[in-house]
Amino acid sequence: MMKVSLFAIPLIVLSGAVWAESATQTDWSGGPGVAGPVSTWTDDFYLGTDLDWDTEPGQLKLVINKAENVIDPSVAQAYGCELADMDGDGYRDMVGCSRSGDYVSWWRNTNAGTTWTEHTIGFINGPVFLCTADIDGDGDRDVFVAAADGDEVAWFRNNDHGSSWTKFTIEAGFDARQISIGDFDGDGDTDLAGVSSETGDVVWWRNRISEGLPWLKTYVDGALLGAYACDTGDVDLDGDFDIVATSTTGNTVVLYTNEVESTGTWVKSTVGSGVMGPYSVLIANVDEDDRPEIVVARLSGISYFDYVGGTTWNNVVINNSVASVRSIVGFDFDGDGDVDLASCSAGSSDDVCWFQNLPGSSWEMNVVDNDFQDGVCILAGDIDNDGVPDIAGAASGENRISWWRIGGFKSPGILYSSILEISQPGYWQYLIWSYEQPYGTSIFFNLRASDNPSAMGPWSAGILDPGSIIGILEDGRSYLQYKVTLQTAYHYATPSLKDLTITWSPTGIEEGEGDRVLTLSSPNPCFGSVDLDWTLVEPGNVTLSVYDASGRIVRIVESGWFEAGTHSSVVDGLPGGVYAACLQGRGFTAMHRLVMLD
């Protein structure tokens, strides 16, 4: 539900004369830096933090949170990485590898993503890909590593919450390009699948640790030349793990349906052909039907294959403008319940992007970083434990591993206006603003007024709704400043401020008349009734009215022809509250604030 207000400014009009002066601001796109005093608010202001004031002139919103946070800037040829809680403290740590440095490390997340401490896991020649799982069933996350340069597949046992590690070789002489985990034989242990670019092999290794036996390799396919990427999941919804693999030589996407438990075999079928540069593949349900799709990163974009029936798949384009995509990940970044995507690119493009999955099979691309040189791995997860998903990745060209907050808006955002100089100080009346407030968001104001722009004094209490500001500020002050705060409890929504107006009523007679024409002869505040004395310098028709704080006339005290001189009127029978007595005649308007006590 969204709260929308296009609040009308309540100007009090008597016989064609308006007694409210006003100041309005409708745009902030000029940016900060103008402290004031200024004679009018234009399109600039004094200070602002965590607000978007220039994307849409005429709207003030919270800024999208997508700053880069570097985990480690010196990981030589940073490659495969993964987010996992390696020490059991509840935070997602980073596990990564250095291809040219020949090592694997993990970085402990010690302060909600702001502080990272590196711990070496072990050494292996040319690691390019890794994944984590509790391989030996002891409760700690262990690490699988594919070392394509050294032709080795290994796993590192986490001996005690990441404090020490032991390396075990699963197979030597296998140049695994990518690996993926799954329980392929249904025995409850974590097995491993992998693909080899050199031999075209697609294989899986059975985990026999609980039996005290070495890993057992089984061939799935021996003829997928140029095999590059793989992922595992239940594609055909039969309850076991299937394998999807791609070939950068044949430009194909292939599905291997798992029949291991029933027949001990795998059934191969082509999902798509002519897919140029399929460097990453993902099994995910992106269209919210009853079956997962196969998402593929290509040299010229991202698409997914939707199962039609039999051996037929329909290729659906997500985006054709992002180039040289090397890695993709699926996650619900916007909190709407469906799977969005994130990607990183290498070569002709160095973008980190996320793609919002919108209704009607449409996707919106959001660039997170356009200078992440040779991004080779992209991840998703809540790194700072704020309930909002984040993105992380490795850039081999810049030797760094980083993360970004991208799944929400920063909150709160605060703006301080320029100090406004008021030519006719008077009695403060109303603060009115137009806005949009989605559920879980809010806008509130603080005001302050002074006769010295260098010492504006304390801020008022927060003003949560448009309306009267009578009694909030001290009347008669020559300088005014507002502070507006936008905030959200729901990180995917932002309020929007469109304009604001502050009104006040000048004291004394308009058009320069110097005599004070409306005074009180009773104490103010007063009980029960109040005596008003008013003076006319010449005879004429006048009206003496009383308004409540909302601008509504509650009493017409006098109306008609009166001689010049001083007159007295009594106002009684009003409930407790703040009122304005207004005397209006030919060529002048005068007012006085009344405070009635019950």
Q: Within this chain, do residues 295 and 390 fall inside the same structural domain, yes or no?
A: yes
For residue 8, the model assigns a pLDDT of 32
pLDDT tens-digit map of 37-46: 999 999 999 9
pLDDT tens-digit map of 82-114: 999 999 999 999 999 999 999 999 999 998 898
Q: Which residue shows structure tokens 């493009």?
A: 349
**Per the structure, how many domains does the chain have?**
3
For residue 9, the model assigns a pLDDT of 32
SS3 label, residue 75: coil
Query: Residue 401: which domain range?
Result: 68-405
Q: Does 356 reside within a domain? A: yes
Q: Which of 505, 536, 559 corresponds to the end of one domain? A: 505
Q: Given pLDDT bands bounded at 50, 70 and 90, which one contains residue 453?
A: very high
Residues with Cβ within 8 Å of residue 560, at least 6 apart in sequence: 541, 542
Nearest Cα to 144, choosing from 117, 108, 171, 111? 171
Higher pLDDT, 415 or 300: 415
Q: Within this chain, do residues 457 and 532 fall inside the same structural domain, yes or no?
A: no
Q: Within this chain, do residues 208 and 294 fall inside the same structural domain, yes or no?
A: yes
- Contact criterion met (CB below 8 Å) for 380 and 390: yes
Q: Does 528 reside within a domain? A: yes
For residue 520, the model assigns a pLDDT of 64
State which amino acid sits at residue 534.
W
Q: Within this chain, do residues 83 and 30 fall inside the same structural domain, yes or no?
A: no
Q: How far is CA 178 from CA 110, 146, 227, 257, 310, in A?
A: 30, 7, 9, 19, 28
Tokens at 54, concatenated: 């220039």
Q: Which of 405, 436, 465 corresponds to the end of one domain? A: 405
- The rounded percent of the chain whose pLDDT value lies above 90 is 65
pLDDT tens-digit map of 297-355: 998 899 999 999 988 999 999 999 898 999 999 999 888 899 999 999 987 788 999 99
Q: Torsion-angle region of residue 188: left (phi > 0), alpha (psi -120 to 50) or beta?
A: left
Exposed / middle / buried, residue 563 (Cβ in 10 Å: 0-12, 13-18, 19+): exposed
SS3 label, residue 10: coil
pLDDT over 80 (residue 377) = yes
- Rounded Cα distance between 143 and 43, Å, is 55
Q: What is the mean predicted confidence (pLDDT) over 113-124? A: 95
Q: Given pLDDT bands bounded at 50, 70 and 90, which one contains residue 276?
A: very high
Residue 271's φ and ψ, nearest 5 degrees, are -85, -45
Q: What is the mean predicted confidence (pLDDT) over 427-442? A: 88
Q: Does 2 reside within a domain? A: no
For residue 551, the model assigns a pLDDT of 65
- Rounded Cα distance between 73 and 78, Å, is 9
pLDDT over 70 (residue 402) = yes
10 Å Cβ neighbour count for 150? 18
Higher pLDDT, 348 or 119: 119
pLDDT tens-digit map of 436-448: 999 899 999 999 9
For residue 511, the model assigns a pLDDT of 33
Tokens at 20, concatenated: 């409210």
Q: Does 13 reside within a domain? A: no
The domain that contains 425 carries what CATH number? 2.60.120
